Amino acid sequence: MKRHALLFASAMVGAIVFLLDGWAVDIGESIVMQGVPGKVAACATCHGAHGEGGGDGVYPRVAGQPAAYVETQLKAFRDGSRASQLMSPMAAGLSDSDISAVAVYLERQRPPFPAPPQATPSQLERGQGLVTIGRWEEGVLSCTSCHGATLQGVAPAIPSLAGQSAQYLSAQLRAYRDGQRSPGPLELMKRVARGMSSEDVEDAALYIASLRPGAQPEIPQPAKPQPYAARPQSPDAFVPPPDSAIPAGPYGDLVRLGQSIFQDTPKHARQYAGNTLSCRNCHLDRGRDAQSSPMWAAYVHYPEYRKKDGLVNTIQMRIQGCFRYSQNGIVPEADSRELTALVTYAYWMASGLPVGVKPKAAGYPKLDPPAAIPSPERGAKVYATRCALCHGADGLGRSGGGEQVFPPLWGPQSFNWGAGMHQTDRAASFIKTNMPYGAGGTLTDQEAWDVAAYVNSRPRPQDPRFIENVEKTRVLYHSDHEYDYYGREVDGLVLGAPGTLEQWEKNNREKNR
Amino acid sequence: MKRHALLFASAMVGAIVFLLDGWAVDIGESIVMQGVPGKVAACATCHGAHGEGGGDGVYPRVAGQPAAYVETQLKAFRDGSRASQLMSPMAAGLSDSDISAVAVYLERQRPPFPAPPQATPSQLERGQGLVTIGRWEEGVLSCTSCHGATLQGVAPAIPSLAGQSAQYLSAQLRAYRDGQRSPGPLELMKRVARGMSSEDVEDAALYIASLRPGAQPEIPQPAKPQPYAARPQSPDAFVPPPDSAIPAGPYGDLVRLGQSIFQDTPKHARQYAGNTLSCRNCHLDRGRDAQSSPMWAAYVHYPEYRKKDGLVNTIQMRIQGCFRYSQNGIVPEADSRELTALVTYAYWMASGLPVGVKPKAAGYPKLDPPAAIPSPERGAKVYATRCALCHGADGLGRSGGGEQVFPPLWGPQSFNWGAGMHQTDRAASFIKTNMPYGAGGTLTDQEAWDVAAYVNSRPRPQDPRFIENVEKTRVLYHSDHEYDYYGREVDGLVLGAPGTLEQWEKNNREKNR
């Protein structure tokens, strides 16, 4: 009886949620199509019936934007924190629930893209470079870094650029540059826009506007091979060859496969990936970046003895460790196609580096011991202001356009308790040099230690070396590093104990109900 | 009935051989102990009852010498081609069968070694370097190259040096140098002795005389690491680090294991070796020699696409190919300890070499196409005079002191029909640069082509890629290179056809009966 009542109640809740949702969409459609009588003009007047934009590119495409982003913008128009003579009066006439309804309606629209703009091949080529590579030495991150590989945006905070007009995109970049638009989260867009010339702005906007729906901009292949680096590298650092130097033929094909696996491991090494992380999440710029464990440095470093498994590790064995721990997955055979592809990619990147010699300026420096014992509580505050934008307040990362754009830092889809990154000292050093993405070095040492402690005192998947119980496993594998939270009690849960991750997920579901 | 008669005959032959053998030993013992009355003094007078030598080192140890070597020497004393006022009259009194009997008796004796000579540590250190490394740029091959790792000699032509007195050894080296002793096979000993100073001669002799029975001289570890090369290398050639640079600890242990496998594959990779060849037989100087496919060059060359298996090969996969074909064995797993050790050894040797860049002066140059079509018949003559000393007239190589000192070039213990070396062009190029050992470059191009054709038109183990029949296998795998004898008929046998190798072995047994 009880069971049936529960099922019935559950079904009713589901039905109500469904109906409310549909109701909001209906209200949203009504406001978009007809406005709010006497207060707000129909959105469709300028932005089109399906949010496709209008006025020959003056009025932006608002279709397909993350609802939370549209909500934030409409509220910003309403309270004046985003200035617009046109939009502010409209937003003033909308209630919070009107705004939500409009945002939800627009998020679901998929009108066709406008016709691509007139642009010369050289404009598109320059734009492609800025969009996919950027010019980090002047603060210009690539657009794809945050807006996703297909520029479709990442909920909740990062808007879609896909299908937007060149006119609107360049107007916004100029507004960021000139301070007419608030600098955005982490002031990233202000920094990006200030690093761009008027020509840069125009070319990047033209290139984005020329993309077709779902198209993934490719990293350009300059006619004359020239190295590039996604962010400023030490002049002493080794520069791996550019993608354009990958030769044709089966060898080059395998290099490219390795690069694809590196870029999107769950997609290209599906049978081995145990979570949504990709190699590039720790080895930035697809393993090229000198400051975050570059793969070219690893290639010339192995075979080497590792205390972790008590064996001399070949590069294959070392990468197997990544699959076992960081990707919480299945270990590929040493001669599997996937592992061979990754090794071949690393070999290709290491072209010209001397074997067995530690390359200069490779890796991130080890942070000094912390002045104060790392505090997860302090770290939580750093996390909220500097990390949550990309990794989510819940630590579960952010997806957009079908890909994991920002990696989960804890929870079921993150690295497990055996991964090197679960060591607070390792994570703190990585974070200090590399995070926030595009603004490495801006945290104090203590902030880096604290936020690493926060991240690594959250639940994550079990250590594959788990034996008998959490105490024994802690003694065997978690007693070498200070500030290792494995086996410690945090928020009433013993980290690493069987069932902890599941309990934590259950608590989250209940909290969010 | 017939079967019983055959068995009986066979048993009788065996018994007669055994009796004749014992009879020869008895005659030999009698001559050694008592001489030939009225003609020959007892050998024991000077050389000791068991051939241990005497006269405080003036009279050599003749015990344990290959019987064939003693026979050759006694006959040389008898006909004057080896001059000795003392020995010539003695030998003159011995018949051929007397000589055989004495030689067989002496070969079986194992008297204790004499007391080691007085020598300073620096004399022994210099001697050790000459004995184990040599000084090839002046023609001084290491003694161990030909006399075997324990210097116990290699039947039939290479005498044991172990247990010999320093006095006798240095006297012989001086005799070779001054032309008082005939120059020996391939004139090798003359060239060696002429490259040695009086001090060299003394130190090498002292070092050999200081060795205990069965001791294997180690390659010295100079206090200050310095590169060495076993033979003159191009000044452009990369020089791998010296053995003394192998570090202590598990990484160094694995480098040393790899080196041991390289040195004696059947011993240290027993479960994978399918014949008596070792890696060092093709990759001279334990994979260090620049002119014979050095392993350091291979290390930086792979991963690379290979047409042979249609795959991008890692260094592991490439070495697996050696086990499959050259060693006619079992392929070790990519992450087996043995293969990891070989890769780690190659990695260590490549220290400092740039990844993916072809090292200068590495490998042997490809020979120009031959002026005349390579002729196995002409090659047989080259082989007899320039190769058979070490590899045997039967091509089966030579063993001594429990190790395969010179590799078999055909027959059941040699590389199979899938190995790279079975290609006449490959073999000819290798031979031209590297053979005869210690005298590379002394054959004409045509001689190299001819002798390669001779070697590679002999039977050897089946190609592991064999499919259906020899014709199909030839089309699939043996049509890319000119002068590939696989599937060709030679001496009435179709090379590579099932049963050919067994038939050839049977013919040999019958011939030798």
What would the mean pLDDT of B105-133 be, rounded to a whole number? 93
Nearest CA in chain B to A320: B335
Q: What does the pLDDT look like over A202-233, one tens digit per residue?
A: 999 999 999 998 888 877 765 544 445 577 78
pLDDT for B177: 93
Whether the pLDDT of residue B149 is over 90: the answer is: no
pLDDT category at B460 given cuts 50, 70, 90 is very high
Which residues are CB-neighbours of B358 under 8 A, at least 6 positions away?
A: B297, B301
pLDDT category at B13 given cuts 50, 70, 90 is low
Q: How many CB atoms lie within 10 A of CB B155?
A: 17
Q: Which amino acid does the sequence have at B354? A: P
CB contact under 8 A, A352 and B355: yes
Whether the pLDDT of residue B253 is over 90: the answer is: yes
Q: What does the pLDDT look like over B392-418, one tens digit per residue?
A: 999 999 998 888 999 999 999 999 999
Q: Name the one residue in this structure whose structure tokens are 């046998």.
A: B493
The pair of structure tokens assigned to A1 is: 């009886």
Q: With beta carbons less than 8 A apart as the criterion, state whether B62 and B43 touch.
A: yes
Distances (CA, A) of A227 to A220, A223, A224, A341: 12, 12, 10, 22
Buried b (16+ CB within 10 A) or exposed e, A195-233: bbeeebbbbbbbbbbbbeeeeebebbeeeeeeebbbbeb
Whether the pLDDT of residue A12 is over 90: the answer is: no
User: Going by DSSP bridges, is the β-strand pair B403-406/B398-400 parallel, antiparallel, or unpaired?
Assistant: antiparallel
- CA dist., res. B439 & res. B429, Å (int): 14
Percent of chain B clearing pLDDT 70 (strictly above): 94
Closest CA to A31 of A113, A116, A76, A90: A90
pLDDT for B1: 47
pLDDT for B226: 46
CB contact under 8 A, A357 and B351: yes
Domains of chain A: residue spans and CATH: 2-107 (1.10.760.10), 121-209 (1.10.760.10), 243-349 (1.10.760.10), 376-512 (1.10.760.10)
Chain B residues with CB under 8 Å of a chain A CB are 249-251, 254, 299-300, 302-305, 310-312, 314, 316-317, 333-335, 340, 343-344, 347-348, 350-357
Q: What does the pLDDT look like over A356-412, one tens digit per residue?
A: 999 999 999 999 999 999 999 999 999 999 999 999 999 999 998 888 999 999 999
Q: How far from each other are the two terminal CA atoms of chain A, in whole angstroms?
A: 24
Residues of B in contact with A317 (CB under 8 A): 335, 340
CA atoms within 13 A on the CB side of B406: 26
Q: How many residues does chain A have?
A: 513
Q: What does the pLDDT look like over A479-490, one tens digit per residue?
A: 988 899 999 999
DSSP B236-279: TS--PPPGGGSPSSHHHHHHHHHHHHHH-HHHHTTTT--SS--G
Residues of A in contact with B356 (CB under 8 A): 347-348, 350-352
Q: How many CB atoms lie within 10 A of CB A434?
A: 21
Chain A residues with CB under 8 Å of a chain B CB are 249-251, 254, 299-300, 302-305, 310-312, 314, 316-317, 333-335, 340, 343-344, 347-348, 350-357
Distances (CA, A) of B139 to A316, A371, B171, B189: 43, 66, 19, 10
Q: Which amino acid does the sequence have at A323? A: F
- CA dist., res. A505 & res. A510, Å (int): 9
- CA dist., res. A460 & res. A504, Å (int): 10
Q: Which amino acid does the sequence have at B343? A: V
Kindly report the nearest CA distance between residue B32 and chain A, in angstroms: 58
Kindly report the nearest CA distance between residue B353 and chain A, in angstroms: 5
CA angle B332, B335, B338 (to 5 degrees): 55
Nearest CA in chain A to B300: A355
Determine which helix (DSSP H) or strand (DSSP E) holds A496, and give its type and residue range.
Answer: none
pLDDT for B225: 43
pLDDT for B227: 47
Cis peptide, bond prior to residue A303, ω within 30 of zero: yes
pLDDT for B218: 78
pLDDT for A232: 79
pLDDT for B396: 95
Kindly report the nearest CA distance between residue A259 and chain B, in angstroms: 15
- CA dist., res. B392 & res. B390, Å (int): 6
pLDDT for A17: 58
Percent of chain A clearing pLDDT 90 (strictly above): 78
Q: What does the pLDDT look like over A417-429, one tens digit per residue?
A: 999 999 999 999 9
> In this complex, which of A251, A333, A354 lies closest to B353 when CB atoms are compared?
A354
Determine which helix (DSSP H) or strand (DSSP E) holds A493, and give its type and residue range.
Answer: strand A493-494
Distances (CA, A) of A366 to A37, A415, A424, A428, B87: 62, 21, 12, 9, 77
Nearest CA in chain B to A253: B312
> In this complex, which of A317, A344, A353 lies closest to B312 when CB atoms are compared?
A344
DSSP B460-479: -PPPTT--SSHHHHHHHHSS
User: Helices A376-386 and A445-455 sit at what angle, rounded to 10 degrees?
Assistant: 100
pLDDT category at A15 given cuts 50, 70, 90 is low
Whether the pLDDT of residue B301 is over 70: the answer is: yes
DSSP A96-159: HHHHHHHHHHHHT--PPPPPPPP--HHHHHHHHHHHHT-BGGGTB--HHHHH-TTS--BTTTB-
- CA dist., res. B84 & res. A414, Å (int): 86
- CA dist., res. B101 & res. B71, Å (int): 9
Nearest CA in chain B to A318: B335
Whether the pLDDT of residue B67 is over 70: the answer is: yes
Nearest CA in chain A to B241: A356
CB contact under 8 A, A350 and B340: no
Chain B interface mutation, best of A239, A312, A357, highest count of B Cβ atoms under 10 Å: A312
- CA dist., res. B241 & res. A207, Å (int): 53
pLDDT for A226: 46
pLDDT for A513: 79
3-state class percentages of chain A: helix first, strand second, coil last, to nearest 5: 50, 5, 45
> In this complex, which of A334, A340, A354 lies closest to B354 when CB atoms are compared?
A354
Q: Name the one residue in this structure whose structure tokens are 């300890």.
A: B337
Nearest CA in chain A to B353: A354
pLDDT for A313: 98
Q: Where are the alpha helices (DSSP H) in B57-116?
A: 67-79, 87-92, 96-107
The pair of structure tokens assigned to A6 is: 């529960």
pLDDT for A359: 97
- CA dist., res. B51 & res. B71, Å (int): 15
Whether the pLDDT of residue B382 is over 60: the answer is: yes
CB contact under 8 A, B355 and A340: no
Q: With beta carbons less than 8 A apart as the criterion, state whether B91 and B84 touch.
A: no
pLDDT for B231: 79
Residues of B in contact with A347 (CB under 8 A): 302-303, 355-356
pLDDT for B276: 97
Burial of B402 (0-12, 13-18, 19+ CB in 10 A): exposed
pLDDT for A1: 47
Q: How many residues does chain B have?
A: 513
What would the mean pLDDT of B483-508 be, rounded to a whole number? 95
CB contact under 8 A, B312 and A251: yes
In total, the C-beta contacts within 8 angstroms joining chain A to chain B are 98
The pair of structure tokens assigned to B12 is: 């009788």
CB contact under 8 A, B355 and A250: no
What is residue A324's DSSP assignment?
I
**What is the average pLDDT score of chain B?**
92
- CA dist., res. A204 & res. A90, Å (int): 30
Using only C-alpha atoms, chain B has a radius of gyration, in whole angstroms, of 25
List strand residue ranges (DSSP E) for B350-474, in order: 398-400, 403-406
DSSP B342-363: HHHHHHHHTTTPBTTSPPTT-S
> In this complex, which of B316, B335, B352 lies closest to A357 when CB atoms are compared?
B352
> In this complex, which of A299, A304, A305 lies closest to B355 when CB atoms are compared?
A299
Q: What does the pLDDT look like over A277-326, one tens digit per residue?
A: 999 999 999 999 999 999 999 999 999 999 999 999 999 999 999 999 99
CA angle B280, B285, B287 (to 5 degrees): 60
3-state class percentages of chain B: helix first, strand second, coil last, to nearest 5: 50, 5, 45
> In this complex, which of A303, A351, A352 lies closest to B344 when CB atoms are compared?
A303
CB contact under 8 A, B355 and A357: no
Q: What does the pLDDT look like over A123-175, one tens digit per residue?
A: 999 999 899 988 888 889 899 989 998 999 999 999 999 999 999 999 999 99
φ/ψ of A124, rounded to 5, equals -65, -40
pLDDT for B302: 98
Residues of A in contact with B317 (CB under 8 A): 335, 340
> In this complex, which of A317, A344, A355 lies closest to B299 when CB atoms are compared?
A355
Closest CA to B272 of B331, B337, B317, B345: B331
Residues of A in contact with B249 (CB under 8 A): 305
The pair of structure tokens assigned to B294 is: 């050095």
CB contact under 8 A, A305 and B350: no
List strand residue ranges (DSSP E) for B349-500, in order: 398-400, 403-406, 489-490, 493-494
The pair of structure tokens assigned to B510 is: 């019958």
Residues of B in contact with A344 (CB under 8 A): 303, 312, 314
The pair of structure tokens assigned to B113 is: 């070694």
pLDDT for A19: 61
Coil, strand or helix at B59: strand
DSSP B135-150: BGGGTB--HHHHH-TT
Determine which helix (DSSP H) or strand (DSSP E) holds B292, and give its type and residue range.
Answer: none
Buried b (16+ CB within 10 A) or exposed e, B442-474: ebeebbbbbbbbbbbbbbbbbbebbeeebeebb
Rounded (10°) CA dihedral B427, B432, B436, B441: -170
What is residue A423's DSSP assignment?
S
Whether the pLDDT of residue A184 is over 90: the answer is: no
Q: What does the pLDDT look like over B178-215, one tens digit per residue?
A: 998 888 888 889 999 999 999 999 999 999 999 998 88
Chain A interface mutation, best of B347, B351, B353, B358, highest count of A Cβ atoms under 10 Å: B347
Chain B interface mutation, best of A309, A311, A324, A335, highest count of B Cβ atoms under 10 Å: A335
Whether the pLDDT of residue A504 is over 60: the answer is: yes
Task: Flag whether the pTM goes above 0.95.
Answer: no
What would the mean pLDDT of B438-465 be, rounded to a whole number? 96
Residues of A in contact with B306 (CB under 8 A): none
Closest CA to A139 of A207, A79, A70, A197: A197
